[in-house]
Amino acid sequence: MLLNSLRALLQFTTILPLGDTADFLLFARRSYLYPLAGYVTGGLAGLAAFWISDPAIRAAVAVAALLIITGANHFDGLLDFGDGLMAHGGREKRLRALTDRQIGTGGFAAGASILFLTYAALSSSLHLLPALIVAEVFAKFSMSFLTAYGTPFREGLHASLHREAKPWFPVVAALFCVPLVFLPLPVLPLFGAALTALLVPAILLVASYRLFGGVNGDVVGTSGEITRAVVLCALVLIPVSTLF
């Protein structure tokens, strides 16, 4: 049963060929497994790029690998969120912009900003493979956080996941992040990365209630994309900041 839940999780978060489609409900009832997908996506993207000597090309390959492995599914949510965030007017107009399948300038700006931050952090990282694993695991933790605590504003995929989630799910998801301490990364930046993985979904939760009246799958995907970028930046900047 657990293996089928993991297969359903990976089928939801990646484009990996994993056989027949698993029952999605098996993952919905165990969305605390989200961080385990991060070990897979971060590890594969890191392996695709870490052997490249040029930092700029290595970072570009890593970003491309992430988008390909994940099918850009959550990145699409970021673009929709950007449109909703930038829309002028009241909540109804923001909701229309968020749920409209067209991508506007707000979505382009949000997507480009996060891609630039991700690329810049990866090109500056001295430990690309472990950094990507950390960033992806924490990104998936943030998605587990919003899945459990983000009340949906309408029926949809997120609503189905939210109904099955329990308040203690993010606690279990956090336990799946503990093995990250064994990666060859300094403790202080890793601790800072863990804090950002809590702050980003918490801020998005408050902002989404204010802007949209709740959360949907686009907001959850946005949390994963932003958390990854911010974690990567934290892993690069915190060691430098300690020198001052």
User: Does residue 240 have a pLDDT over 90?
Assistant: no
User: Does residue 33 have a pLDDT over 60?
Assistant: yes
Q: In angstroms, how far is the first alpha carbon of the chain from the final one?
A: 51
Average the pLDDT over 176-194 and give the result. Answer: 94
> pLDDT of 186-212, one tens digit each?
899 999 999 999 999 999 999 999 999
Angle CA 99–103–107, to nearest 5: 90
Residue 244 CB partners (closer than 8 Å, separation 6+):
none
Q: What is the pLDDT at residue 243?
A: 44
For residue 50, which of 105, 152, 130 has the smallest C-alpha distance? 130
Tokens 């969120």 belong to 81
For residue 34, which of 205, 228, 232 has the smallest C-alpha distance? 228
AA letter at 189: P
Are 151 and 88 in contact by the 8 Å Cβ rule? The answer is: no
Q: Crossing angle for the helix pair 217-241 and 187-212, nearest 10 degrees?
A: 150
* pLDDT band of 26, cuts 50, 70, 90: confident
SS3 215: strand
SS3 43: helix
Residue-range domain boundaries for the chain: 2-8+24-241
Average the pLDDT over 5-32 and give the result. Answer: 89
User: Does residue 244 have a pLDDT over 90?
Assistant: no
Q: What is the pLDDT at residue 1?
A: 66
Q: What is the mean pLDDT of the chain?
A: 92
Tokens 């408050």 belong to 206
Query: In a 10 Å sphere around its CB, with 0-12 CB exposed, 13-18 middle and 19+ buried, how is residue 172 labelled?
Result: middle
Q: What is the pLDDT at residue 67?
A: 96
Question: How is residue 47 written in tokens?
Answer: 């392996």
Q: What is the pLDDT at residue 99?
A: 84
Average the pLDDT over 13-22 and give the result. Answer: 86
pTM: 0.94
> pLDDT of 221-236, one tens digit each?
999 999 999 999 999 9
* pLDDT band of 121, cuts 50, 70, 90: very high
User: Does residue 101 have a pLDDT over 80?
Assistant: no
For residue 196, which of 234, 165, 244 has the smallest C-alpha distance? 234
Q: Minimum mean pLDDT among 93-97, 151-155, 222-226: which range?
A: 93-97
Please tell me what DSSP assigns to residue 32. Answer: G
* pLDDT band of 87, cuts 50, 70, 90: confident
CA distance 107 to 222: 11
Report the range out of 10-24, 75-89, 142-156 with the highest average pLDDT.
Answer: 142-156
> pLDDT of 128-150, one tens digit each?
999 999 999 999 999 999 999 99
User: Does residue 213 have a pLDDT over 50?
Assistant: yes
Q: How many CB atoms lie within 10 A of CB 15?
A: 13
Query: Which residues in 88-123 are b (16+ Cβ under 10 Å) and which e?
Result: eeeeeebbebbbeeeebebbeebbeebbebbbbbbb
CA distance 70 to 139: 12
